[in-house]
Amino acid sequence: MVLSVEDVSFAYPRRSDLIKGITFSVDKGDVLCLLGPNGTGKTTLLRCLLGINKIKRGGIRIGGRPISEMSARELARQVAYVPQAASVAFPYQVLDLVLMGRSPHLGIMSTPAEKDLEIAGWALARTGISHLQYSLFSEISGGERQLVLISRALAQQSGLLIMDEPTASLDYGNQTRILKIIRELAAKGYTIIMTTHFPNHAFLACNKAAIMKEGIIAAIGSPEEVITDDSLSDLYTTEIKVVSTGLRGLPGELKVCVPLMPREAAL
């Protein structure tokens, strides 16, 4: 068991619980897709898993060890975080940002060694952006920035990746590219937890899906079990159909989530 979450609750001071008794686990090679509307606590839960938010009740274990017993450096060696792509205040080169992923493995006042440069180069190659290593992060596209953040997480060499909406605001091409990387990483043994507002991504890249609503996990299982007409329509308070379709030249069927919008009556 890579990660286990046991009856976890969290609340900000002087507020009621935002996370309420959440329990789940993921194993090596699992990709868990966490679905839920805005404000339901998805990012708050991720911050709990990262040890940023101190939980009110319950326990979180990585590799069987409570994260409450780990130092920040120890935890960073176990889990890496990929936030939504963002700008940075300083004009860092892409390679410099990726090298920051090596920080948990360096001593105080140490500088990256040749081995760290090799690992950063491998991470950039893994995501297909070696050609950007000397570019400024502030001058590349949103999709390229997201690939840089994934590269930084890979350079961290943590087996568990936490990804907060890794395809947010990206075009179809970059969404597909990142989902493909996620599948490939899982095949190599990485364990990934990702949030998204696109249920289709669970069918494309994940073997587990969880529906989060009002601070609880309402359902968890395979995407086929969890993502249904009724569950999505209830979750997003709009009618949604899950359609199975075959595509010429591809084996099997593909499931697609389609929101239904009634046509306006003719004037």
- Residue 254: its pLDDT value, please? 85
Record the pTM.
Answer: 0.92
The CA-CA-CA angle for residues 41, 150, 63, to 5°, reads 65
| 256-261: average pLDDT | 90
Q: Could you give the percent of the chain with pLDDT greater than 90?
A: 78
264 located within any domain: no
Q: Which two tokens stand for residue 250?
A: 């591809």
The owner of tokens 């991470």 is 123
- Domain CATH for 121: 3.40.50.300
Q: Which two tokens stand for residue 29?
A: 């090679």
267 located within any domain: no
The owner of tokens 């004009």 is 91
265 located within any domain: no
Highest-pLDDT range among 159-173, 202-216, 235-249: 202-216
By the 8 A CB rule, do 37 and 235 touch?
A: yes
18 located within any domain: yes
Q: How many domains does the chain have?
A: 1
pLDDT, one tens digit per residue, over 188-198 is 999 999 999 99
Strands (E), 96-213: 160-164, 191-196, 208-213
* Start-to-end Cα distance in the chain: 59
pLDDT, one tens digit per residue, over 94-139 is 999 999 999 998 877 678 899 999 999 999 999 999 999 999 998 9
By residue range, what is the domain housing residue 40?
A: 3-259
165 located within any domain: yes
pLDDT classification of 142: cutoffs 50, 70, 90 = confident
From residue 216, give the alpha-carbon distance in Å to each of 17, 125, 225. Answer: 10, 38, 18
The owner of tokens 């939980």 is 55
Give the span between the Cα atoms of 130 and 157, in whole angstroms. Answer: 18
Closest listed residue to residue 161, CA positions, set 54, 32, 72: 32
pLDDT classification of 253: cutoffs 50, 70, 90 = confident
- Residue 197: its pLDDT value, please? 92
61 located within any domain: yes
- Residue 263: its pLDDT value, please? 67
From residue 144, give the alpha-carbon distance in Å to each of 130, 162, 175, 186, 233. Answer: 11, 19, 11, 21, 33
pLDDT, one tens digit per residue, over 20-75 is 999 999 999 999 999 999 999 999 999 999 999 999 999 999 999 999 999 999 99
266 located within any domain: no
- Residue 250: its pLDDT value, please? 67
**Neighbouring residues of 69: CB distance < 8 A, sequence distance ≥ 6:** none
Residue 266: pLDDT above 60? no
